[in-house]
Structure 1
C-alpha cells in the first residue's frame, strides 16, 4: 500500500466519521428544538427554537449526509480502480501467453 493509498483511506474514513458526527448533531439539534417548542405555549417563544434548532439541525443533517455519501463514493471508486487494475493485469498475462504460443 502506497502513501497515496493510505491518504485516500484516511480521507475516506475521515469523511465518513465527520458526516456521521454532523448527522448526529443535526438530530440532537432537532430534538432540542422540539423539546423547547413542546414546553412553551407562546408562539413568539417557539420561533427561536424552530429557527436555531430545527433549521440548523436540517442543515447539519444535509451536510453530514453529503459528506457520508462522498465517503461512500470514494470507496466505490477505489474498489473499481482495484478491479480494473486486476483485470488489466490478467489481460496482459493472457496476451503474453498468446504471444509465447505463436
Structure 2
C-alpha cells in the first residue's frame, strides 16, 4: 500500500466518522429543541428553541449526510480503480501470450 493509498483511506475513514458525528449531533440538537418546546406553553418561548435547535439540527444532519455520502463515493471509486487495475493486468497478460 503506497503513501497515496493510505492518505485516501484515511480521508475516507475521516469523512465517514465526521459525517456520522455531525448527523448524531444534529439529531441531538433536534431532540433538545423538541424537549425545550414541549416544556413551555408560550409560543414566544418555543420559537427560539425551534430556530436554534431545529434549524441547527437540520443543518448538521444535511452536512453530515453529505460528508458520509462523500465517504461512500470515495470507497466506490477506490473499488472501481482496483477492479480496473485487475482487469488491465489480466488483459496485458492475455495480450502477451
Shorter chain as denominator, the TM-score bin is over 0.9
Q: Quick one: distance in 1 between partners of 2:12 and 2:92?
A: 31
Normalised TM-score (structure 2): 1.00
1:37 maps to what in 2?
37
Root mean square deviation of aligned Cα? 0.2
Q: Quick one: distance in 1 between partners of 2:82 and 2:75?
A: 11
Normalised TM-score (structure 1): 0.95
Extract structure 1 runs of 4+ deviating beyond 2 A: none
Any idea what the Cα deviations from partners look like across 1:56-101, whole Å, max 9, x if unmatched? Answer: 000000000000000000000000000000000000000000xxxx
1:60 maps to what in 2?
60
1:23 maps to what in 2?
23
- Gaps of at least 5 residues in structure 2 are none
Aligned residues: 97
- Gaps of at least 5 residues in structure 1 are 98-102
1:83 maps to what in 2?
83
2:71 maps to what in 1?
71
Matched, 1:7 2:7: yes
Q: Offset at 1:8?
A: 0.2
Q: Quick one: distance in 1 between partners of 2:41 and 2:49?
A: 12
